[in-house]
Amino acid sequence: MSGYTLTYFPFRGRAEPIRLLLADQWASWTENEVQTADWFSGKCGLKKNTVFGQLPRFQDGDFDLYQSNSILRYLGNKHGISGSNNQEKALVDMVNDGVEDLRQKYGRLIFMEFETGKEKYITDLPNQLSAFEKILSQNSNGTKFLVGDKISYADYNLLDILHCHLDLDPNCLSTFPLLSAYVERLASRPKLSEYLKSEKRNKRRITPKHQ
| Contacting residues toward ligand GSN, per CB under 6 A | 13-14, 47, 53-56, 67-69
Spatial distance between the Cα atoms of 92 and 81, rounded to a whole number of angstroms: 9
CA 22 to chain centre: 11
Of the pair 34, 178, the CB lying nearest ligand GSN is at 34
Nearest distance in Å: CB 68, ligand GSN: 4
Nearest distance in Å: CB 188, ligand GSN: 28
Nearest distance in Å: CB 54, ligand GSN: 3
Of the pair 14, 89, the CB lying nearest ligand GSN is at 14
C-beta nearest to ligand GSN: residue: 54
Nearest distance in Å: CB 67, ligand GSN: 5
Spatial distance between the Cα atoms of 91 and 95, rounded to a whole number of angstroms: 6
Q: Quick one: angle between helices 68-78 and 153-168, nearest 10?
A: 140
Per DSSP bridges, beta strands 29-33 and 63-66 are unpaired
Of the pair 67, 193, the CB lying nearest ligand GSN is at 67
Of the pair 82, 96, the CB lying nearest ligand GSN is at 96
Burial classification of residue 111, based on how many CB atoms lie within 10 Å of its CB (0-12 exposed, 13-18 middle, 19 or more buried): exposed
